[in-house]
Structure 1
Amino acid sequence: MLRVIGVGDNVCDKYRHLGLMFPGGQALNVAVYCRMKGCDAAYLGVFGTDAVAEHVMKTLTRLQVDFSHSRQTEGENGYAVIDLVNGDRVFVTSNRGGVLREHPIQLNEGDLEYLAGFDLIHTSNNSYIESQLPAMASLGRFVSYDFSGTWRDRERTQSICRWVDCGFLSCSGLTQEEVREQLTEIVRLGCGIAVATMGGDGAMVWDGESFYQARAKPVEVVDTLGAGDSYAAGFLMAYLTEIVPKQLSKGSGAYREKMEKAIAAASELSAKTCGRPGAFGFETQLA
């Protein structure tokens, strides 16, 4: 069984028009999506002491996602205020991670020993984790990082890529050629493989030798929140169970077949996410 841990951000997404809030966050979402698909999943982050934090922790407990190595700090948990416009989530405001921003994770020896027990460590641009990436990479585990749209910050991106095995980029609105250029650059800077999500235009993957592309699955969109995170989870689960352990040669027939299946599985999971409100449900009354 694949063992997955999300390290970094957790939030509640507050939907003003519904009067509800949904647990989420890039690092947490990937762990939860993997858990929902049968993986052994955990989360390591920082919680506040308010109703938002309480709801996120209760949800993780219900889902059997271990968060025993997380910290809890007096103050406000991360949150974002969300509106929906024709199914697309629009971020209105946020507290930029709340206590996580004020008290970012500093991995100790116990944390590193714990992380070494996982096959996949996933983190993100909202996790205030960059200074800890070298320590994560030193464990010899597969490290993935969601740049979201921050890949445009060249200096920051360059400092991250050499520590990351797989990078995810949000590239909605770019042309196909622009996406290829960005993916090529990310791999050139050190990432083993780069994945771009392009909204309704699907997704594209560059492994350093070949491009792979998937169209977005037709779906009646309810809410796009979590679509990129579920794509990442779907791709990583397939890549780490069907390609990496078998040491398939890039460009071989078997490798190409498995890669096509990986991006198809990711597209399928992302489409399902778009068909429901919130990142993965488990809503409660707005706090």
Structure 2
Amino acid sequence: MEKRVRVAAVGDNCMDCYDDLGQSFPGGNPVNVAVYIRRLGGEASYTGAVGSDSSGRRMIEAIAAKGVDTSHVKVLEGKTAVSHVRLVEGDRVFGEYEEGVLADFRLCPEDISYLCAHDLVVTGIWGMIEGDLPSIFKKVPVAFDFANKFASPIVDQAIPYVTYAFFSYDEESREDFAKRCCQLGLAEKAAEEEMLAGFMRAVQKLGPKVVIVTRGKAGSLAWDGSRLHCCGIVECEVVDTMGAGDSFIAGFLYGVLGGKSIPEAMRTGAENSAVTLGYSGAW
């Protein structure tokens, strides 16, 4: 009998507001991963905080409608987080971010016990729970999306307590990436892929079981401590890139938790991203 994958997503959420289009969609890194895990056939919960405004109600209702457990979503007095977005030739470009009540989001001991009852906990750089990772990591595997924030101090704080570490390498992150490589004592090389491979090897030695780097149209790389795995993209019509990276993370995690090899899980991630790229908004 096939194992039922059960993932706990915890951390930030936000309304993605496409100001030019006059549209808004519920989203946020861990929220998106939870929804995509459900889409793939797994079970998922989301733990986080929304405001007491209409956006908060809409967020909870939308997540629950996708079959995600929202029993541990806190409603705090104030405004739900908002990310302002523009679409430029299909690529989402982020503008101003309004953190709202997420600035006050904290886990309580009961939340941590609930999270640890799952097969895996997934969070990210804006999740506000890096201080709780040591307690969580003792009981359950942890996946963390560091996005393109290579030089963030959160990387140093979180990485020893992460099982699957995800990074996103793009034009915007080159300076941060170079700074982190310098901190790791890596010699600068001309070949981009060689530098990425060196970075992944160095980071993996700090704790993670697997380090994964997504590179947009260039596909993804994964280092498992003994081998560098490469995976291309699944060609598709791109309507909106919002949620594509989160879709890859969900597909990868769903794959490895279901017993797939690293290359197979990477392919599942790429296929899941292609689905999300075909419509507007994260989900």
Q: TM over 0.5, yes or no?
A: yes
Q: Does 1:168 align with 2:166?
A: yes
Equivalent positions of 1:125-274 (< 5 A) are: 125-139=125-139, 141-153=140-152, 155-173=153-171, 175-243=192-260, 258-274=261-277
TM-score (norm 1): 0.88
Secondary structure of 2:61's partner?
Answer: helix
RMSD value over aligned CA atoms? Answer: 1.3
Q: How far does residue 64 in structure 1 lie from its aligned partner after superposition?
A: 2.0
- Percent identity of the aligned residues? 34
CA distance in 1, matches of 2:196, 2:6: 31
CA distance in 1, matches of 2:234, 2:38: 22
Q: How far does residue 191 in structure 1 lie from its aligned partner after superposition?
A: 1.2
Kept in 2, the 8 Å contact 1:8–1:129? The answer is yes
Equivalent positions of 1:102-117 (< 5 A) are: 103-108=104-109, 110-117=110-117
Q: Does 1:122 align with 2:125?
A: no
What code does the residue aligned with 1:32 have?
V
CA distance in 2, matches of 1:107, 1:32: 24
Kept in 2, the 8 Å contact 1:193–1:205? The answer is yes
Q: Which 5+ residue runs of structure 1 have no aligned equivalent?
A: 244-257, 281-287
How many equivalent pairs are there?
261
Q: How far does residue 60 in structure 1 lie from its aligned partner after superposition?
A: 1.5
Q: Can you list the C-alpha shifts for 1:164-215, whole angstroms capped at 9, x where unaligned?
A: 0011001124621222122122212111111111011011101111011111
Instruction: Specify which of 21, 33, 38 is matched with residue 18 of structure 1.
Output: 21
What code does the residue aligned with 2:143 have?
S
Kept in 2, the 8 Å contact 1:52–1:79? The answer is no
Q: Which 5+ residue runs of structure 2 have no aligned equivalent?
A: 175-191
CA distance in 1, matches of 2:194, 2:22: 41
CA distance in 1, matches of 2:12, 2:156: 21
Kept in 1, the 8 Å contact 2:50–2:75? The answer is yes
TM-score (norm 2): 0.89
What code does the residue aligned with 1:127 have?
G
CA distance in 2, matches of 1:260, 1:134: 29
Q: Can you list the C-alpha shifts for 1:36-62, whole angstroms capped at 9, x where unaligned?
A: 111111100011111221111110221
What code does the residue aligned with 2:223 have?
W
Runs of 4+ aligned residues of structure 1 deviating over 3 Å after TM superposition are none
CA distance in 2, matches of 1:73, 1:50: 9
Secondary structure of 2:20's partner?
Answer: coil
Q: Can you list the C-alpha shifts for 1:107-128, whole angstroms capped at 9, x where unaligned?
A: 31x2222122200100000111
Secondary structure of 2:132's partner?
Answer: helix
CA distance in 2, matches of 1:170, 1:116: 27
Secondary structure of 2:15's partner?
Answer: strand
